Amino acid sequence: MVSAATHARAAAASPDPAKFEFFTPAEAAEVEAISSRIIPTDETPGAKEAGVVYFIDRSLVTFAKDSQKTYREGLLHVQELLAEKFPGAKRFSAATSEQQDAVIEGLSKEAEAPKARRGNRFGTNAQPFFETLRYHTIAGFLIAPDSDRRGNRDGVGWKVIGRDPEHMFQPPFGALDKDYPGWQPAAAEKK
Amino acid sequence: MTAPRVQYQTTDEVDFVIIGSGAAGGILAKELSTNGFRVVVLEQGPYLHESDFSHDELKILQEDLLTNHPKLQPNTFRKTPDEKAKPQRAVVYGRAVGGTSNHFTANFWRFHEIDFIERSKVGPIPGATFSDWPITYADLEPYYTKVEWEVGVSGLAGASPFDPPRSKPYPMPPLPVKSSGVLFERAARKLGLNPFPAPMAILSQPRAGRSACINCGFCLGFGCEVKAKSSSLVSMIPIAEKTGRCEIRPNSYVHKIELDARGRAVGAVYFDEKKNVHLQKAKAVIVSANGAETPRLLLLSASKQFPNGLANSSGYVGKNLMLNSGGISLGLFDERLNDYKGFAVSRILHDFYELDPQKVGFYGGGGLDARFDMTPINFAAGGGLPPDAPRWGKKFKDAIAHNFTRTVEIFSHGTSLPKEENSFSLDPELKDAWGLPALRMTYKDHADDIKLAKWLNEYGLQILDAAGAKKKWTYPIEEQQFAVHLLGTCRMGNDPKTSVINSDHRTHDVKNVFLCDGSSFVTSGRGQPTMTIEALAFRAADRITALAKRGEINA
């Protein structure tokens, strides 16, 4: 059996990152454009730099197989929305960012957002396209970079949220434990 | 390095077959095999090791590497017995060698004296089957100590003025404090409370060939890559296997306890990985399959002799389910706390362990902890951001970029009252991937549990205020429909009419069938059951050993 680490190394060394396992190149361009509006590139990297589209592509042939149809239908629906709002516009990826945001705004409001809760287990199955794509975009941005899922390329997602890349840490961890004097019983400290 | 493992034939009549290898099953396997008995442990999940564990969140969140899989083993849920249950994921439990102890948070609070005798102190509560335990804190104290020393718990004895008496200090100092712990400690003291270092089943120092915690930050939900988390997988099962008398048999899904004509168990019937059916023969059967699967197995084992399910003359198998109540408040701070580093919890408080019903207007009590237990995807996609945060676009990105290192959660954990209607049972329609009736959960919190959760959660917000949070919010307290603490469903008691097992964990109805896990609980404690599950398992092993040595198991 190949260990996860070996597999990850092999995946990282894969010579042709542009190869898609599920999407056609045209679909991939659309997915990349949509996910880039969910986590845009500004002064720091976004979904595009993290390789989110490659992550989603692999997801759709692995843990998220059940969402294939959601994507195929969802992408068509995005084209319809785009044409509705901006007659003549055919491809999301070719639209201006203002047009793109208007389409996503519409798409995100079609179904009620799932309640914010401890989202330990997000069932992408049977979720509307926007919610599925949103979850996958976030996952592709923030997945452990040493996994074999093709997301969070070069750890850029973790860099954005301030998660250090190390695999283990030593205290002090943050701003307040740094100067902690050590445990004192309450009475002693009050003095 | 490893000695050849013993392998029994299914036709070998071993002394004990133990169903489940988790918090309870792992300890029973270790204790009974070191006491000289021949033991087979049947575990429905795979046998994974540190090398199978990683920081890949999707293996946990989407693929259920360590837990029951909703497609293979679907659940149904309803609030009350007169409703038809709907398919819905209701239960998450460990499904691998080591069980839920592989992925738990590792909060290891002992129960206090009050937890065993509260019914006598408080009196009856309408709508609840509230009872005392047939054992006391004093009965269990030596076994809590055993858990701390043998399984491995870090903590500081005497740090909490509310702690029950103990015979020995902790074997290791507490884990290092996190920034969430520091701000919690300062704020709680400002409010006149008594915060203290959290007792955690995670090694703060190397011990028994296991590494100390390396603070990797992928803890709750994950298997530990360096054996620092004190799961049964790394603490108990290696010792059991080393005796040469204990076989751990993974991928073995037990669906029936087989009986002879006199109504004694002769072994456990299970599916192997290829769905072939086997009967493992044994002189006695111990079920430690968790508070959901233990009652389900008894109900699946119904027969002519036991038409309502095995050991169910009381009708209490599967009933009196308790989940623990509680809530989560969150706060956002200016400083970079970096609380994603390390284990989850470093400070807790027990000032509200026993609330006075006359004063607060409801029964209950609990504790609070400060933590950050969210991994990056879980944080950004799930519940890490305030409810008014944007969900996509630049502002969403800015929010996750700013908040991830500056967010703290205050968890409140409290009592659940037992109600007869709250239960696990067999769904009459839905089947699992083996064709067996699916697990059905029926649950509606007792009104006092909801009041308690709100009360404790409010206090969590006060602590965040006192700590100087720039923003604070909370998840709404709602009736629970999702369970990880699975308690009370085959309760212990002296009266066979109102309990399933006696204080030796022996079923009242079948002499050589024993049950030991969260199902044995009579009350729910204050939200951290695993320590008590493990203490019960050490005690049960002593009781069962004594019965076996006297030849009374199957007499």
Contact between residue B131 and residue B498 where contact means Cβ atoms under 8 Å apart = yes
- Give residues 233 to 262 of B whose Cβ lies within 8 Å of A: none
* B182–A163 CB contact, under 8 Å: no
pLDDT of residue A126: 65
CATH number for B74 = 3.50.50.60
pLDDT of residue A189: 47
| B455 close to A (CB below 8 A) | no
| B92 close to A (CB below 8 A) | yes
Q: Which two tokens stand for residue A50?
A: 């993290």
Residue A63: partners with Cβ closer than 8 Å, 6 or more residues away: B58, B62, B63
Residue B310: partners with Cβ closer than 8 Å, 6 or more residues away: B257, B259, B298, B299, B301, B302, B303, B317, B507, B509, B510, B513
% helix / strand / coil in chain B, to the nearest 5? 25, 20, 55
B257 Cα to chain A: minimum distance (Å): 33
Interface test with A, best of B341, B398, B406, B408 (most A CBs within 10 A): B341
> Phi, psi (5° rounding) for residue A187?
-60, -45
> Phi, psi (5° rounding) for residue A160?
-60, -45
Where chain A has pLDDT below 70, the residues are 1-18, 115-126, 187-191
> Phi, psi (5° rounding) for residue B532?
-75, -35
Structurally, chain A folds into a number of domains equal to 1
Q: Which two tokens stand for residue A81?
A: 């929305």
C-alpha to C-alpha distance for A142 and A152, rounded to whole angstroms: 6
- Cα dist. B527→B147, B148, B364, B552 in Å? 18, 18, 11, 36
B207 assigned to some structural domain: no
Cα of B331 vs its chain's centroid, Å: 27
Which residue range(s) make up the domain with B496? Answer: 1-104+109-152+231-319+491-555
Closest chain A residue by Cα to residue B178: A177
Using CB atoms, pick whichever of B70, B340, B381 lies closest to residue A138: B381
* Residue-wise pLDDT tens digits, B498-527: 999 999 999 999 999 999 999 999 999 999
pLDDT of residue A191: 37
Q: Which two tokens stand for residue B531?
A: 């320590």
Running DSSP on this structure, what letter comes out for residue B506? Answer: B
C-alpha to C-alpha distance for B95 and B19, rounded to whole angstroms: 12
- Give residues 402 to 431 of B whose Cβ lies within 8 Å of A: 404-405
Which residue range(s) make up the domain with A181? Answer: 4-190
pLDDT of residue B173: 98
Residue B113: partners with Cβ closer than 8 Å, 6 or more residues away: B136, B137, B138, B164
Output the pTM of the full model.
0.96
- Give residues 133 to 162 of A whose Cβ lies within 8 Å of B: 134-135, 138-139, 141-144, 146-147, 149, 157-158, 160-162
* B393–A40 CB contact, under 8 Å: yes
pLDDT of residue A14: 43
Where chain B has pLDDT below 70, the residues are 1-4, 555
Chain A residues in contact with B56 (beta carbon < 8 A): 4, 143-144, 147, 149
C-beta neighbour count of A108 within 10 angstroms: 17
C-alpha to C-alpha distance for B396 and B451, rounded to whole angstroms: 34
Chain B residues in contact with A189 (beta carbon < 8 A): 189
Cis amide prior to A172 (ω within 30 degrees)? yes
Tell me which residue of B223, B288, B243, B290 sits closest to B27, measured CA to CA.
Answer: B288
| B88 close to A (CB below 8 A) | no
Structurally, chain B folds into a number of domains equal to 1
Using CB atoms, pick whichever of A101, A118, A169 lies closest to residue B383: A118
Q: Is B465 exposed, middle or buried (0-12, 13-18, 19+ CB in 10 A)?
A: middle
Contact between residue B171 and residue B178 where contact means Cβ atoms under 8 Å apart = no
Tokens 């023969």 correspond to B281
* A160–B337 CB contact, under 8 Å: no
B398 assigned to some structural domain: no
Interface test with A, best of B49, B59, B62, B328 (most A CBs within 10 A): B62
* B57–A143 CB contact, under 8 Å: yes
Chain B residues in contact with A135 (beta carbon < 8 A): 381
C-alpha to C-alpha distance for B385 and B237, rounded to whole angstroms: 40
At B399 the three-state DSSP class reads: helix
* B56–A122 CB contact, under 8 Å: no
